[in-house]
Amino acid sequence: MTYATAAFAALADPTRRRVLERLAAGPRAVGELAAGLPVSRPAVSQHLKVLKEAGLVSDRQEGARRIYAIDPKGLGAMRAWLDRFWDEALEAFEAELETPNDTTSRDREIDP
């Protein structure tokens, strides 16, 4: 859940999504990632830091270079949140269709 929150915030930035999409093709070094992006290398480093804290990527040292790769952890947390939300929404959706006269849910509690 806390991972899911950070993951959503991380994926909100278009540049970070581009970084992730390129990492989805396989692990890369920082310089390789920055080469195909319209931002500077330090900017990519900062984005990778955010992605790492969100559990979306992992890094390993390899000589002087640092290799980044996709980490399934953060993605799993986000998918779990979406699945739970998806099911809950559909459930309420069908319940709503059964009682169309209660569309405003006026009698339901505001705060659980």
Partner DNA sequence: ACGTCTGGTAAGTATCGACTTACAGTAAGT
Partner DNA sequence: ACTTACTGTAAGTCGATACTTACCAGACGT
Residue 12 vs 98, nearer CB to DNA: 12
Q: Which of 64, 93, 97, 99 binds DNA (CB under 7 A)?
A: 64
Quick check: 96 binds a second copy (CB under 8 A)? yes
Q: Which of 26, 38, 61, 94 binds a second copy (CB under 8 A)?
A: 26
Helix (H) or strand (E) holding 29: strand 28-29
CB 62 within 8 A of CB 30: no
Quick check: 58 binds DNA (CB under 7 A)? no
How many Cα neighbours within 13 Å face the side chain of 64? 1
Quick check: 75 binds a second copy (CB under 8 A)? yes
- Phi, psi (5° rounding) for residue 67? -95, 130
Residue 101, amino acid:
N
Quick check: 41 binds a second copy (CB under 8 A)? no
Quick check: 29 binds a second copy (CB under 8 A)? yes
DSSP annotation of 60 reads E
